[in-house]
Amino acid sequence: AQSVTQPDIHITVSEGASLELRCNYSYGATPYLFWYVQSPGQGLQLLLKYFSGDTLVQGIKGFEAEFKRSQSSFNLRKPSVHWSDAAEYFCAVGAGGRRALTFGSGTRLQVQP
């Protein structure tokens, strides 16, 4: 079975600074990879996804993620963080015949003015 690790439970960055959220997965082949964002009291919104092809994928809100097969990683990045980016971010993988997702435990992002 696949698993997802988000090593950082909580990250604080200053507004305008760059951001990288880490995600590592465990699976024998290349899974489908996702990043979701959850604002307080809200549902999950898809930021971006990787299925195949170009390993650098662009998402909404200026986010991007890079798939690195050799490191089993799918890290999320943003060059300049805005206060509205404060939220919880979840990495998720889909693999095998079951079409459910396996989620990491999430990273809570705090943005300082």
Partner 1 sequence: DAEITQSPRHKITETGRQVTLACHQTWNHNNMFWYRQDLGHGLRLIHYSYGVQDTNKGEVSDGYSVSRSNTEDLPLTLESAASSQTSVYFCASSVQQNYEQYFGPGTRLTVT
Please answer whether residues 46 and 103 qualify as being in contact, where contact means their C-beta atoms are separated by less than 8 angstroms: no
Instruction: Give, as ranges, the residues between 20 and 79 that touch partner 1 (CB under 8 A).
Output: 32, 34, 36, 42-46, 49
**What is the nearest approach in angstroms of partner 1 to the Cβ of residue 79?**
25
Q: Cα–Cα distance between 18 and 51 in angstroms, integer?
A: 25
Question: Widest CA span of the chain, in angstroms?
Answer: 45
Residue tagged 């930021």 (tokens): 47
17 binds partner 1 (CB under 8 A): no
> Is residue 11 involved in binding partner 1 (CB under 8 A)?
no
Binding status of residue 90 toward partner 1 by CB under 8 A: yes
Helix or strand (DSSP H, E) at 18: none
Query: Which residues are near partner 1 by CB under 8 A?
Result: 4, 6, 9, 32, 34, 36, 42-46, 49, 90, 92, 94, 98-106
